Amino acid sequence: MKKIVNIPRGTQDILPKESKKWQYIENHLRKISENFCYKEIRTPIFELTELFARGVGDTTDIVQKEMYTFLDKGNRSITLRPEGTAGTVRSYIENKLFADTIKPQKLYYIGPMFRYERKQKGRYRQFFQYGVEVIGEESEKIDAEVISLAYNIYKSLGIENIKVSINTLGNPEERNEYNRALINHFKKEIHNFCEDCQNRLEKNPMRILDCKVDTKKELMKNAPKLLDFLGEESKKYFKKVLSYLDDLKIKYEVDPNLVRGLDYYTHTAFEIMIDNKDIELKTLCGGGRYNGLIKMLGGPEEEKGIGFALSIERLLLALESENIELNINDKIDIYVVSVGEEANEYSMKLTNLLRIHGFKAQNSYFDKKIKAQMKMADRYKAKFSIIIGEEEIKDKKVTVKNMENHNQESIKIENLMNYLEEKIKGE
Ligand code: HAM
């Protein structure tokens, strides 16, 4: 036997048993999105590399270390999307969605993203993000709505142990001033910090606060706080967002060290964390406002945006560790059992007819003993089985068996669809 080719590291196969859960979650996400009046946008899985370098930020871990980038046959640098915001904003600008009569545009997406990260439970190299972006206008109400949408997703699935961590990153001028203060604060001791932090000092000092290695250092604990650098406008905006969250009864905690790993954020930034000791990566979801991004990618300056994204993988892990079972229906309606050549041939036609009538139906492909066929009906979790033998063919009848209570009835072919309609669809 030849050596098998394995799946690439950091990716997963979603097998039929699991894909039912994925479909359930995806349908749930679509339903909630529609309830909040968001519409789906589908952008390419790969984009020109420059989009992410400009959009996500040259100094971020994503752009520096994690992108799947290659030259295509036309010598263009292409990158598999590491996240959905940059592509959505690109599409918004390129397709002039800002000229639409509905403002802001409320968009959502579901699809695979790619980051070359260290594999861990909850961290993959291909993962599926659901995200939303609200682009065009700015209002504290929009920020609160976006956070409440994220919060509702978990709550509506029964995940109770969650908390919103929230911070404001101010406007670009306030951030610049804050960054200068951080450089002054860290520079004398920076040689004692990890290599990443040393690199971040000049390029992106706020990210030092996000370091997972040097968290215990004294300089980290007494670092200047961004809140002290905010002007009145930014403070007022943040306060209003928080008061809307209070109105919506959303549990949150202001975390002045929350800086997020992407460069485009301004003002509101948030993450949703799960409080469960069995989960290693507790951040289920993250997002925030990105007022400068539309301009940075060539769009109109006055356009503002906010959004968040979560991965379906982490959502499923959260459900599992909270012992929440999804209400998944993997039953079929009818399994058709047939004995004898004529009945076998007829079973194929009948199954086809049942499917056209909207029933989930399967027949036995092989002329096996009735017992073996009934066993298969059980494995398929059929609600009913239809049994056809020579006699049934002769009398133009079939036997319909309720697989739960084992009741059997003989039904004329001409009445079969109505009978099943009543029994199955009328349930
Ligand atoms: P992010 O924080 O990089 O933000 O990712 C958002 C979420 O995607 C994370 O909270 C996590 O659930 C999931 N995620 C990220 N990387 C992985 C991975 N390697 N494996 C599994 N799940 C992962 C963004 O991507 C921003 N685009 C969010 C946003 C939208 N901000 C504004 N709009």
List, as one string, the DSSP characters of 55-113.
Answer: HT-TTSHIIIII-EEEE-TTS-EEEE-S-SHHHHHHHHHHTTGGGSSSSSEEEEEEEEE
Contact between residue 111 and residue 128 where contact means Cβ atoms under 8 Å apart? yes
Q: Supply the DSSP symbol for 381.
A: T
**Cα–Cα distance, 189 to 76 (Å, whole number):** 42
pLDDT of residue 215: 75
Dihedral angle computed from the Cα positions of residues 48, 53, 55 and 59, in that order, rounded to the nearest 10 degrees: 160
Structure tokens at 131: 């995200």
Q: Whose CA is nearest to atom 22 of ligand 1?
A: 311
Neighbour tally for 261: CB within 10 Å: 15
For residue 222, give Cα distances in angstroms to 214, 216, 218, 282, 301.
13, 11, 6, 25, 36
**Cα–Cα distance, 313 to 128 (Å, whole number):** 7
pLDDT of residue 427: 66
In 165-214, which ranges are continuous DSSP H helix?
172-186, 195-203
Instruction: Give 124: exposed, middle or buried? Use CB within 10 Å, 0-12, 13-18, 19+.
Output: buried
CA of 83 to the centre of ligand 1 (A): 7
Contact between residue 142 and residue 287 where contact means Cβ atoms under 8 Å apart? no
CA of 117 to the centre of ligand 1 (A): 12
pLDDT of residue 285: 97
CA of 383 to the centre of ligand 1 (A): 41
Enclosing H/E stretch for 254? strand 252-254
Give the type of residue at 402.
N
Q: Whose CA is nearest to atom 13 of ligand 1?
A: 311
CA of 285 to the centre of ligand 1 (A): 6
Instruction: Give 338: exposed, middle or buried? Use CB within 10 Å, 0-12, 13-18, 19+.
Output: buried
Cross-strand bridge partners of residue 283 = 273
pLDDT of residue 224: 92
pLDDT along the chain (427 residues), means of 10: 95 95 98 98 98 89 93 98 98 97 97 96 97 97 98 97 95 91 91 87 85 80 90 97 98 90 90 91 95 95 96 97 94 97 95 97 93 97 97 94 96 96 84
Q: Whose CA is nearest to atom 9 of ligand 1?
A: 285
pLDDT of residue 61: 86
Those residues whose C-beta lies under 8 Å from the C-beta of residue 193, and which sit 6 or more positions away, are 186, 208, 211, 213, 214, 217
pLDDT of residue 164: 97
Number of residues in the chain: 427
CA of 262 to the centre of ligand 1 (A): 10
CA of 425 to the centre of ligand 1 (A): 41
pLDDT of residue 172: 87
**Cut 0.75: pTM above it:** yes
Contact between residue 258 and residue 166 where contact means Cβ atoms under 8 Å apart? yes
CA-nearest of 372, 369, 380 to 403 is: 380
pLDDT of residue 32: 98
Neighbour tally for 404: CB within 10 Å: 9
Ligand 1: which of 312, 314, 317, 319 to mutate, most ligand atoms within 8 Å of CB? 314
Q: Supply the DSSP symbol for 123.
A: B
Pairing of strands 408-412, 397-402: antiparallel
Ligand 1: which of 29, 133, 308, 317 to mutate, most ligand atoms within 8 Å of CB? 308
CA of 284 to the centre of ligand 1 (A): 8
Structure tokens at 82: 């590491």
Pocket of ligand 1 (CB under 6 A): 83-85, 115, 117, 122-124, 127, 129, 131, 133, 261-262, 283-288, 290, 307-311, 313-314
Contact between residue 338 and residue 344 where contact means Cβ atoms under 8 Å apart? yes
